Structure 1
Amino acid sequence: MADINGHIELERSIDSIIIGVRHRKELGDLVPLMTSIQERGLLQPITITPDGVLVCGRRRLEAVKLLGWRTLKVWVRSGISDNLSRLLSEQDENALRKPLTPTEESALFEELKELLAEDAARRQEASRFGSSPTVGGENGGADSAPPSPLGKARNNAAKLVTGKASHQRLEQINTIKRTAADPTVAAVVRDLAGTELRAIDDGADVAPAFHRIKAAIELTGGQLNAAPLSRDELEALAAEALARVKQERARGGGRIRPPHPDHQPSQRSLRAFILTWSDLDGWSKHHDATEVGQQLSESDWATFERVLAETEVFADAARRARQRIPQPASA
């Protein structure tokens, strides 16, 4: 059996497989898995690199070793980067090596996540044949067949690369990296993403950078008739968007907490005003007035009335200011 990503090797010596320190963890109760392998065989092989480094299948490997096997069937996965192979083959977690940067970790995480997801998909397929509900999803040496292979692969990949459940942080870094390399994204946003990545490697927090880039994409998307944003404008607007995200997180009961009486709202830019109203243009066509009038709660209706009243007051003040603009002299 072979494909572009690897091939089956039927008789691989167990002693020749390199188990790196990142795979040396508590394996749990292996008895159900061993029993399943004795009864049904090893339905799904472990995955190794061409150099024999274990990629995934640590529990399956340990189970067959305890059963006294000397050889086993393996899936030899080609195309694995040298950096990932070195990471998985490390024998000492205190080895003297240059620490990985966050962007390097995210690259290895992305690669390993794909490999683990492949293995999980093959295990799920194997579990469809010869499976038994008595061994908790570890049928026929299929290790486990989780309902969400990608979710489990993501979590396991993060732990193997960083030693902790950091998949959300790593996914956010990869989103920023994809933005920096996406030719369909505005150049100013790509440049901003590159700046954020360099800052992250220098120790900056990931989540604020992720939300700034997300806001920058939203602020430049769909504004085909708007004047191009400068770098300074974009950074200022992204900072405003990040502040709104933080406010959303401070919600109580699903609604933004009312401002403290002494709180002075920050002044936002004219560009932010233009974008806000551009987003609202045509909004009434997308809502049913009868439904809104009959189904809003009292508090939601009060919010609507308050915003409407504030808008009318603001519009009157802006209109008066506009009428004071000197008119050009007639020829």
Structure 2
Amino acid sequence: MSMAMARRAALDDVNPVIWVKVDSIVLPHDRSRREPDPVVVERIARSFTDVGLLMPIGVTPHNVLIFGTTRLAAAKKLGWERIEAREFESADDPEVRRLMEWEENDARQDLTLEEQLAFKRDVLDPILTARAKERQQANGTARASQMWGRSVEGGNFPPSTERHVVAPVVTPAILAAGPAVEVESRPASGKSRDLLNHYLGVSGRTMEKFEQLADWSEDESLPAPVREEAARARDRANTLGKVDGEYKRVRALVEQPAVPRPDPSIEVEARLTRGFSAFERLLEEHPAAEVAGVLSEGGWRGLAVVLQRTMEWGRDARRRREACERPRGS
């Protein structure tokens, strides 16, 4: 038996290919991908008619679909009652199922940045959080063992020599080759961007910038115009796939120094000072002896009213100021 046949036999033993009733397959609620393209479904259906199903779909032991949405839709279109499926026992774990589904090529075809962000928040972020927690706990255990010669749980055991690892990342090569292929576990100290780069259609840094745009567009602490511009930039980046320029433009708005609002009392004092100074200049430019004989009766009455109100305003302001400066109780 060749090595390829041996690997295939081993894979069939662990993840067997079975016949499943089409109407018994459950579409999971936790999927973040789009509905299959009707044009692609039609093309796959014609292929099924010509050559049949070449690659089984993937399901869990409870018939929850892992990957193969388009192939399943094509089988339903043709009225098939049963379809070949490879059963993955480990995929009962929702996180493993989502990773396997995403890894399938037809699962992440032409996904928008918004859809990738949804997958990151729903699936990858919890994994990264768990990984960081495990790494922190492992580091704490190692420090305690070095200091006290025992584990943090209280047992007096020798320090562990095992390397702290996390669950292996499921890739198409692993799924195709089966358990005969040795899987190298990713060390817990691996960078978060490595996981993002692997599973998303963009770099981890690009996704960080796009997520920051999304956060700014929803941040109620920012001024409304900034949030609105962040929302427009988010839509443009999602449509055009160009993130860096939109990110830099909105960041400049967010980080621009806030212009302090002037003290209202200082503003009122400045306006009064300017107004009285202008009035004083008018009186100096037009002495009473000069204008007394040229003002009309109506002009004189209007000027007299203004002068009378000015004097009353001054006396009232002086009384109130003296009252404010007078010590309490006197």
Taking structure 2 as the reference length, the TM-score comes to 0.37
Taking structure 1 as the reference length, the TM-score comes to 0.37
Structure with max Cα Rg: 2
